[in-house]
Amino acid sequence: MERKLPQSGKVRLTEVAKLAGVSPITASRFFRNPNALSISKRERVESAARELGYVPNLAARALASHRSEVIGVLIPSLTNNVFADVLRGIYDTSEGSRYSIQLANTRYSNLQEERLLRIFHGQKPAGLIVTGIDQTPEARAVMRNMNCPIVQIMEIGPEPIDMIVGLSHSDAAFAAVRHLLERGYKRIGFLGARMDPRGQRRFDGYREALKAADSFDQRLVVTTLSPSTVPLGGILLSDLVSRVPNVDAVFCINDDIALGALFECQRRQIAVPEQLAIVGFNDLEFMASAVPALTSVRTNRYEMGRKAIEMLTAAMDGKPPQERVSDLGFEIIVRASSPPRRDPSATHV
Amino acid sequence: MERKLPQSGKVRLTEVAKLAGVSPITASRFFRNPNALSISKRERVESAARELGYVPNLAARALASHRSEVIGVLIPSLTNNVFADVLRGIYDTSEGSRYSIQLANTRYSNLQEERLLRIFHGQKPAGLIVTGIDQTPEARAVMRNMNCPIVQIMEIGPEPIDMIVGLSHSDAAFAAVRHLLERGYKRIGFLGARMDPRGQRRFDGYREALKAADSFDQRLVVTTLSPSTVPLGGILLSDLVSRVPNVDAVFCINDDIALGALFECQRRQIAVPEQLAIVGFNDLEFMASAVPALTSVRTNRYEMGRKAIEMLTAAMDGKPPQERVSDLGFEIIVRASSPPRRDPSATHV
DNA sequence: TTGTAGGCGTTATCAG
DNA sequence: CTGATAACGCCTACAA
């Protein structure tokens, strides 16, 4: 019985081997580990493959070897700039390797994440990158079954599934709020949207910093579950100033909210930073351009993606792990929106 | 000879078929075309699959069927917000289908594009999405060899490779500049960065509109090949006003440049829109929030991604093409940054 | 360093 | 509508 599929001059490993005068398995080895071949055969296979224009059939390879050369990547949003940078790091770094990226969007939903994880599970990926540390127990169970290296990205936390690279969002937020406190601000508001787990932990850092200074006040906290957008920053700021007119600084959960807050101040003729200081989070490029330039917390997002792929490929290639936890830290980038406060009641310096 | 690979309770189609009391091929049909089965068998296979937690092996499927269920997507940038929206449309829409997305980043390089296309070629994708209409002849040759439906996105133009969805960037820019002319602006500058093919065509639209009004002046054009960023918008604006101090409006190649230009005006105390009108391109969310709110050209980016997948899946599923060219158009969103000009020399209306 | 043998899980084909 | 049979192209395991 003949198969009728048009084989369109398909070149298989067998053809390459025949032309090179070696057995198929030798040719196969050439593509996976050239160094295992004698130099003469290596060269013969190489030129034969080139001559025939051989392209390996990845499906056959995956079927026979029980593993694909796919790295699954789960992120919660495609729209958020923050992930664009991480993705760039991931794609740039994986491009050199033999692995390809399979991206999926959880839309900030744990259920979606579980579902996607199950799909990935069926594809036997060589490695996996997941966002954050808040996977459900079910999701963690699926991952443990996947039998491949896994890197959690964006933040660090206790009990990593396997490897983890990121920063402590609560520490970063704590430091940002300390910066405001040290510069003399007293009534520091919090503008939060989306309030995903990382946002929650930024809020935790904010609260802890203020509690330590005995300045925490629930009325200063304005949050919503809606996705972060620039316009929303304006709405949140409006809310805050109507509730606490004498607020003197705001810590925004991210830069989009901060920009929206700045615009709202411009609209309301609230002088920034004289009447209100603003601090954002992530340090997107526009923060330096704004008028006034906006203080923010710089996170190493590109680096996070790069590092995740490096850790993963090292593990997939069987190299001993150098480190399972990589804290990429953060940096408070101080700009004009949060100068030392000129407190009328303070002595002149 | 036994294989030693731990099969870890792997559930195959055979197991499902056995439990359902049908032949493997019948079970196989269930997953591809349930309607070809009698209702009773359909139900038996379904419950058996569910009970066993069966997940199809995509590699085996691809090997046996000679086609992968992968849609290759080539975009020039991961950082640019514009593509994030398109990607969201692509991922959202493909999620329901049986196709998965393979994303690759050309980094605005034709050579990268060719290289990636060759890689995709080897993977026999079920469909392909490429950005723009400026593929090299070599790239076009590779694509023709791929023997799968192809959709070009972002813009429409002559000689589509297969299908195409987008808008005319020159028409859109022309309309934006016409808007300024009609509102009485005389010296309309152009701020351009990156200057990729779509940027070039926006410039073409700008130039044509001004030439038609006999107002084109090369000194009003400030461009750079550097990637677009908000800070760059400020630099370009500085350049423009130092060259043509009495410029009364700027058309910016995109919204990032427009925002940077606005910030620079704030810094230089140039009143917007009284002294200078600003128009951007893409209508990102922040345009409506800015102070003043910025006029822009809305493009249907999410819809572009959605439509591309729809056209592709229809073609891949063998449906007759409804349309090979889909012009999604654009809309000038007029905001406070480009009001009718109060020309001192004009009569009062 | 190289080769032999057999199977990975699915689907195409054709016959009922 | 259903089933028997034979691939799909490559790789693992083992032996030499």
Burial of residue B25 (number of CB atoms within 10 Å: 0-12, 13-18, 19+): exposed
pLDDT for position B115 = 87
Is the pLDDT assigned to residue B348 strictly greater than 50?
A: no
The per-residue pLDDT for A250 is 98
Q: Say if residues B330 and B297 touch (Cβ distance below 8 Å).
A: yes
For the beta sheet containing A150-155, the strands, ordered from the edge strand earlier in sequence to the opposite edge, are A100-105, A70-75, A127-131, A150-155, A163-167, A325-327
Closest CB from A66, A230, A288 relative to B289: A230
pLDDT in tens, A194-228: 999 999 999 999 999 999 999 999 999 999 999 99
Q: If pLDDT is split at 50, 70 and 90, which confidence band does B3 have?
A: very low
DSSP code, position B253 = S
A252: left (phi over 0), alpha (psi -120 to 50) or beta: beta
Q: Which residues lie closer than 8 Å to A334 by C-beta, 6 or more apart?
A: A179, A295
What is the identity of the amino acid at A78? L
A181-205 mean pLDDT? 97
Cross-chain Cβ contact A263/B121 below 8 Å: no
- pLDDT digit string (tens) for B90-119? 999 998 777 889 999 999 999 999 988 888
Do B121 and B150 contact (CB within 8 A), yes or no? Answer: no
Check whether residue B10 has its CB closer than 7 Å to nucleic acid strand C: yes
User: In this predicted structure, what is the pLDDT of residue A55?
Assistant: 80
B343 pLDDT more than 80: no
Token pair recorded at residue B161: 């490779």
Pairwise CA distance, residues A60 & A68, whole Å: 10
Q: Distance between CA atoms of A215 and A237, rounded to whole angstroms?
A: 19
Closest CA to A218 of A198, A188, A238: A188
* B249, β-bridge pairs: B188, B277
Of the two residues B308 and A95, the one the predictor is more confident about is B308
Task: Tell me which residues from 41 to 70 on chain B have a beta carbon below 7 angstroms from nucleic acid strand C.
Answer: 54, 56-57, 60-61, 63-66
The answer to whether A302 and A274 are in contact (CB under 8 A) is no
Helices H / strands E in chain B, number of each: 13, 12
**Phi/psi-derived region of residue B290, left when phi > 0, alpha when psi is between -120 and 50, beta in every other case:** beta
B90 contact partners, CB below 8 Å, separation of at least 6: B73, B101, B129, B305, B306, B308, B309
The pLDDT value recorded for residue A53 is 81
Distance, CA of B314 to chain centre: 19
Q: Residue-wise over A261-286: b if at least 16 C-beta within 10 A, else e?
A: bbbbbbbeebebbeebbbbbbbbbeb
Nearest CA in chain B to A292: B267
For D3, which residue's CA is nearest its C1'? B23
Query: Does any strand C atom come closer than 7 Å to the Cβ of B38?
Result: no
Q: Shortest CA–C1' contact from A54: which nucleotide? A: D9
Question: pTM for the full model?
Answer: 0.89
Nearest nucleotide to A15 (CA to C1') is D9
> Where does B184-283 have alpha helices with state H?
197-212, 230-243, 255-268
Contact by Cβ (8 Å): B211, B136: no
Residue of B nearest to A290 (CA): B263
Q: What tokens were used for A335?
A: 């700009």
A54-68, A210-224, A320-334, B275-289: the lowest-pLDDT one? A54-68
What is the edge-to-edge ordering of all strands in the sheet holding A221-223? A221-223, A188-192, A249-252, A277-279
- How many C-beta atoms lie closer than 10 Å to residue A192's C-beta? 22
**Residue A191 Cβ under 7 A from any strand C atom:** no
What is the C-alpha to C-alpha distance for residues B52 and B48, in angstroms, rounded to an integer?
6
Give the one of B68, B79, B259 whose C-beta lies nearest to A88's C-beta: B79
Residues A126-139 have pLDDT tens digits of 899 999 999 999 99
Bases of strand C lying below 7 A from some protein CB: 1-14
Domains of chain B: 13-56 (no CATH), 68-166+301-329 (3.40.50.2300), 169-298 (3.40.50.2300)
The shortest C-alpha distance from A347 to chain B (Å) reads: 31
Contacts of B57 in chain A (CB under 8 A): 63, 122
In chain A, which residue's Cα lies nearest the Cα of B60? A63
Nucleotide nearest to B23 (CA to C1'): D3
Q: Which residues 1 to 40 of A reach strand C, CB within 7 A?
A: 1, 3-5, 22-26, 29, 36-38, 40
Task: Give the number of A-B residue pairs with CB atoms closer than 8 Å.
Answer: 111
Judged by C1' against the alpha carbon of B24, the nearest nucleotide is D3
Contact predicate B236/B222, CB 8 Å: yes
Shortest distance, CA A344 to any CA of chain B (angstroms): 27
By percentage, how much of chain B surpasses pLDDT 70? 95
Q: Of A208-222, B30-44, B154-168, B189-203, which gets the smallest average pLDDT?
A: B30-44
Which of A52, A65, A78, A285 should one mutate to test binding to chain B, selecting the residue with the greatest count of B CBs within 10 A? Answer: A78
Percent of chain B with pLDDT over 90: 67
Say how far apart CA B348 and CA A150 lie, in whole Å. 70
Chain B: residue whose CA lies nearest to A269: B291
Partner residue facing B55 (CB), from A62, A84, A121 = A121
CA distance A298 to A287: 11
Task: Give A81's contacts in chain B (Cβ within 8 Å).
Answer: 79, 81, 84
CA A263 to chain B, closest CA, distance in angstroms equals 6
Question: In whole numbers, what is the pLDDT of chain A averaged over residues?
Answer: 91
Cα–Cα distance measured from residue A136 to residue A114, given in angstroms and rounded to the nearest whole number = 8
Mean pLDDT of B72-76: 95
The β-bridge partners of B100 are B70
CB contact under 8 A, A266 and B60: no
What are the Cα distances from residue B158, in Å, to B30, B146, B161, B162, B206? 43, 21, 9, 11, 20
Give the residue among B53, A48, B305, B65 at the shortest CA–CA distance from B313. Answer: B305
State the DSSP code for B148. Answer: S
The set of residues, in sequence order, having a beta carbon less than 8 Å from that of A114 and lying 6+ positions away, is A136, A138, A139, A142
For residues B309 and B93, the answer to whether their CB atoms sit within 8 Å is yes
Q: What is the pLDDT of residues A21-79, one digit of tens each?
A: 888 889 999 888 888 888 888 889 989 888 888 888 888 888 888 878 889 999 999 98
Confidence at residue B344, expressed as pLDDT on a 0 to 100 scale:
54
Please say whether the beta carbons of A340 and A282 come within 8 A. Answer: no
Bases of chain D with protein Cβ within 7 A: 1-14
CA of A57 to C1' of C13 (A): 23
Q: Find the helix packing angle between B13-20 and B39-52, rounded to 10°.
A: 130
What backbone phi and psi angles, to 5 degrees, belong to A32?
-100, -35
3 state SS of B159: coil
Place of tokens 């290596």: A42
Q: What is residue B6's predicted lDDT score, i.e. its pLDDT?
A: 33
Distance from CA of B88 to the nearest CA of A (A): 6
pLDDT digits (tens, 9 = 90+) for B200-215: 999 999 999 999 999 9
- Residue B345 has a pLDDT of 55
Task: Please state, for a pLDDT cut of 90, what percent of chain A lies above it.
Answer: 65
